Chain A
Amino acid sequence: MQEKYNATQISKVIDQSLVYQCACPAQVCRTIFELRELFEYQINCANNSANDRLVHETIATATAQAHAVMEECLSKVLEIEGWDSASLIMPESLRKKPAKPI
C-alpha cells in the first residue's frame, strides 16, 4: 500500500490538535492509521482456503483505495487550513482561534 505520509508526520498533525471540534485534520489522520491497521491485518490474516484469500484480498484492496482517498483528503484539508506542507506545523491562525469546549 502506498503511503504519502509516514507515521511520524501523521502523529505530528494529531499531536497538535487536542480538541475534538478543532481537530478535523486529526480525525482524518486517525482514520488513516485505522486503515493502515486494517490493511496490515488483512495481509497477515491466515489463508486456509482460496475463499479466505479472496476475502482478505478484497478487503485489502478496498482498504488501500480508501487509504489513498483519505491521504489525498488530508493533503487538501491541510492546504485549505494553511498548514506548512513540509514541516506540518499548525498555522498560527488556527492556534489563535479561541478554544471551543471539548
Chain B
Amino acid sequence: MKNAKLLLIDSDEYTSSILIEDLKQRGFDNITRISASLDLHQAITESKPDVVIFNYHFHQPDSLINCSAVKLIAPQTAVMAIVSAGPAMKSVRAWAKQTGCVDVVIEKPLSDERFFMSLGDLVKARYAARVLETRAERLANLLPEGAISAIDGDHTDEAEMFEAAILFTDIRRSSEAITHLPPRKFFKLLNQSLSLQARHINQFEGAVVKYTGDGVMAIFRGMGRSYLALRCGLELARSTSQDSMPFGVGVAEGLVLAGFIGDSNQAGQRQQYDVIGATVHLAARLCSMANAGEVIATNKINLTSRLHTPTARDIGTVAIRGFDAGVDCVAFKPDTSLQKIGV
C-alpha cells in the first residue's frame, strides 16, 4: 500500500508541505504535487496516481473543477477532498453528491485517524479495482467480440439472428505434423499460424469467433461483409503462414444465430458464446474441401462480393453433406497454378 501513487493538488505551499511531510512519514513516498490546474493533465498522465488528494481552499470555489477534470482524465482514480469545517464542507459535500467527482470528503483540521484510514481504504479499493481490471482485460481477450457485446447488452439469453459471412480455416495434415514434431514446437508453430490468421481477419474487419484446434472460425458483419470475407480468405490463402502450416479456407454467407449456449445458472456449468446455423456448417464443409492455399466459397458470395481478381474457378454444384440440394461453388488459388480440388 505504501507504494501507492498519490497526486496532491494544493495551491498553498505551507499546507502542501505539511501534508507531503506527513505522508512521507507514513511511508507514502510516491507523491506528486501540483498547485495549479494547468499542470493537472500532464501530472495525471505522467504519474498515473491511485489517489488524488485535493486540498480545497474555501476562497477558491472554482478549484473544484480539478476534481471533475481528474474524473474526466482518469475515471478510475480515487479523489479525496480535504475541506474546512462549516459552510465550505456543506457546499463541497453537496457538489460531490451532485457530480460524483469526489469519493471521500475529509474535514479540516485533519485528524490523524480519519485521514489515514480513509486514504488507506481508497488505496486498497483502487488496488482491488486494478486487479479486477487486469483480470477483466485478460478474460476479454479470451472471448470473441460478439460475446463481449452480448454480455454488455440486455438480452444475453436470447440468440441474435442476422446475415453474416462466415470464414473457416483448417490446417492440412495437422495430425501428421503433431505426431512428427515435438509437441511444444508444434504448439508454437500452430500458435504463430493462428495468431497471424487472426491478425488478417481483424484487418478485414472480421472477428474470430473461436479457434477450432487447428484452424479458426471468423465472422464478418455489416455492409461489405461478402467482399471483406472473401478478400480476407484470399489473403489468408497466400499469406506466409501457409509456409509452415498450410491450410485451406472456406467462405459462405447467409443467416446465422449468435448467442450463449449452456446454462450458467446451474452449478458446475458454464455458458459459451457461439455462432451457429446452416451457413456455419456450409463454410466449415467448404473449408474441409479446400486444398492447402486454396479458398472455396459459395458462388453466391462470389457474385455478391464482385471480386475481379483473382479469377474464380467454377467448380459447379457441389453436394454438401447435410444439405438437401447441391451448392454452386467456386475455388480460388491465388498466386499458384490451379490444382484439382478434392471434393
Interface, chain A (partner B; CB < 8 A): 7-8, 10-12, 14-20, 23, 26-27, 29-30, 33-34, 90, 95, 99, 101-102
Contacts and interface: CB of A to CB of B under 8 A. Distances in A.
A99 to B, nearest CB: 4
Contacts of B12: 16
B85 interface: yes
B108 to A, nearest CB: 6
Nearest to A36: B86
15 contacts: A7-B87, A11-B84, A14-B58, A14-B109, A15-B59, A16-B14, A18-B18, A18-B109, A18-B110, A23-B109, A26-B85, A33-B86, A99-B18, A102-B110, A102-B115
A90 B18 CA distance: 15
A18 B112 contact: no
Nearest to B10: A18
B25 interface: yes
B22 A102 contact: yes
A8 B84 CA distance: 11
Contact of A26 (B57, B109, B116): B109
A30 B111 contact: no
Contacts of B85: 14, 26, 29-30, 33-34
Given A11-B86, A11-B87, A19-B18, A102 B112 contact: yes
A12 B12 CA distance: 13
A95 B12 CA distance: 12
* Contact-size category for B: 20 to 34
Contacts of A99: 17-18, 21-22
B278 interface: no
B111 A20 contact: yes
Nearest to B18: A99
Interface in B108-122: 108-112, 115-116
Closest 7 A-B residue pairs measured CB to CB?
Answer: A23-B109, A33-B86, A14-B84, A11-B58, A30-B85, A99-B18, A26-B109
B55 A18 contact: yes
Contacts of B58: 8, 11-12, 14-15
A33 B88 CA distance: 11
B108 A26 contact: yes
Interface string B46-70: 0000000001011100000000000
Contacts of B304: none
A14 B107 CA distance: 10
Given A29-B85, A30-B86, A102-B22, A15 B57 contact: yes
